Amino acid sequence: MPLSSLPAAILSHMIAIENVSPPPVRSIPSLKMPKNINYGQLNVLCHLRGKHVHWSSHRMSTTHNAFMAQYPKIFQHKKPRLPKIPKQEEQREPSKETGVSQQQLDDSHNIAVHVKKARGGPTLYGQKDSTEMFPEFLDIVRKLPVERTTHEHNIVWKMLKTIPDLTAQLNDKHLRILSKNVISETWIKGSTVDGNDGFYIILKGQVRPRIKVLRNLFEESEFTTSLPSHSSFIFDKDFENSALSVLYIPSPNLVLGQLSTFGSLEVTPEKELEIQSVVTEDNCEILKIPAKEYAKLKLEKIKCEKTQKLKLIHKCPYYKEWPTLSIYELIPLLKWKKFPPGHVIVQSGNIISFVAYIHSGYCNIYRSIIGLVKLQTNKVKKVRKLVCMGTLKENESFGEISVLLQVPFLCTVISGTEVEMAIIEDQDIFVT
């Protein structure tokens, strides 16, 4: 008798299952025993709990105390490791062959030395002073400014910072800007270098300043005896129409050498210069900072300052609607002024002598108020106190009404921090 379809399907499935191989045996992962557990003490603790079958109050307390005493012992604590005491080695003198100084030996464990070596920068012992940097500086200033790298510009700036006559006239920021445009000039022996169109620094060779000498044309004998035989001189333009001749001769006593300076950063008449011009004694290299470059720098500074003052006034609440042309009339009258913290800028009851625009910092405003204080004798006494009414912050102004109407200011203004403000004095307002 033939089987139905369902039993046949079940039979074929059972046969297929018997032919399938069983799955592979997988090993149970091994358990990692914690290292901070003392299993011997843990076993003692487990057996301690099952010692007593019949419990009483006394036995329960005894077992409890024993359990609590045993419990901390199952945890293993790492023993603290104390640092090793370094052994003092005998100091040995540095060998002459190696040339290592004692300072280098002392700083052998200084991390700053190794960090600078890893970054490729100069080490503490590789920093060059100005005398070691001078040959490199001389090679750099012979190049055009556009050919110099950032590192070379920094070397020029650092060398110029070592010249006192230059740092006395320029701040660090302006000196860095001018150092990017300086260039060395070569002058042959016997050349005359005028000092009224720039600031000059002698890099190589020697020069003699020229001095001005007046002589009467008719006293020929005295004229010839007073001049040295080897001196070169130049006559004034009005020589033919004057009874006196103006001579510029090299000074026999004064010689300017390396890193000496002459000239001026500003274009000045020759009469106002201490050293008007010099004559080269041999072939010289002279670094020139043109007065025109300094004039451009000053002009740029003035423009930046005007823009800063314009923005300051425009940001003040009472001047936001003012036209720009009206604010430009105030800019020439503004002067920068700083006040230290706690300085009384305005005293109440006085007429302010200036209008102020706060650029940085803040001021506290105080009002003098009379209050009543009750005494122990049931009497009342009047006491005057300063009460803080608010603050004046950046981009705020004060003093306009007091100055224009000449009325006393009703509050006391005291600087809370160091305050920098632009002020217009009352005399400048009334003159305009």
Average pLDDT, the chain: 77
Radius of gyration of the chain, Cα coordinates, nearest whole angstrom = 46
pLDDT in tens, 171-199: 888 889 888 888 888 999 888 888 888 88
Summarize the confidence of residues 345-357 as an average pLDDT.
Answer: 91
Residues in the chain: 432
Which strands, in side-by-side order, build the sheet including 419-425? Answer: 335-339, 419-425, 354-360, 397-398
The residue-averaged pLDDT of 198-211 equals 87
**Sequential DSSP letters for 159-177:** HHTT-HHHHTTS-HHHHHH
pLDDT reported for residue 92: 54
Residue 332: name the closest of 422, 396, 405, 430 by CA. 422
| List of E strands, 83-182 | none
Q: What is the pLDDT of residue 214?
A: 59
**Confidence category of residue 117, pLDDT binned at 50, 70, 90:** low
- What's the pLDDT tens digit per position in 64-98? 888 888 888 887 777 777 777 766 555 555 544 44
391: which strand partners? 364
Please provide the distance, in angstroms rounded to a whole number, between the alpha carbons at the two ends of the chain. Answer: 131
CA distance 116 to 60: 70
Q: The whole model's pTM is what? A: 0.50
- Under a CB-based contact definition with an 8 Å cutoff, are residues 410 and 367 in contact? yes
| Rounded distance between C-alpha atoms, residue 242 and residue 215, angstroms | 11
Q: Which residues contact 335 (CB under 8 A, 6 or more apart)?
A: 422, 423, 424, 425
Q: In this predicted model, which residue has the larger pLDDT, 115 or 196? A: 196
Nearest Cα residue to 256 out of 193, 213, 214: 193
The neighbour count for residue 152, using CB atoms within 10 Å, is: 18
Beta strand pairing call for 335-339 and 397-398: unpaired
Q: Which of 40-44, 120-124, 251-255 has the highest mean pLDDT?
A: 40-44
Q: Which two tokens stand for residue 80?
A: 């603290």
Q: Is the pLDDT of residue 102 over 80?
A: no
pLDDT at 358: 94
Strand order in the sheet with 183-187: 183-187, 284-290, 198-204, 261-263
What percent of the chain has pLDDT above 70?
Answer: 71
pLDDT in tens, 24-69: 667 766 767 777 788 788 888 777 755 544 556 677 788 788 888 8
Return d(Cα 152, Cα 204) in angstroms, integer.
Answer: 20
Which range among 23-27, 219-223, 257-261, 263-267 shows the weakest confidence by mean pLDDT? 219-223
Cα(230)–Cα(214) distance, rounded to whole angstroms?
Answer: 18
3-state secondary structure 366-384: EEEEEEEEECCCCCEEEEE
In the DSSP assignment, the letter for residue 92 is -
DSSP for residue 256: B
Answer whether 203's CB lies under 8 Å from 136's CB.
no
Of 42, 12, 307, 289, residue with least CA distance to 169: 289
CA distances (Å), origin 32, targets 2, 90, 127, 159, 252: 61, 50, 57, 68, 98
Q: Which of 344, 338, 342, 330 has the alpha carbon at shortest distance from 400?
A: 330
H-assigned helices in 280-321: 291-315
Q: Is the pLDDT of residue 105 over 70?
A: no
% residues pLDDT > 90 (the chain): 15
Phi, psi of 203 (to 5 degrees): -100, -35
Q: Is residue 280 within 8 Å of residue 207, measured between CB atoms?
A: yes
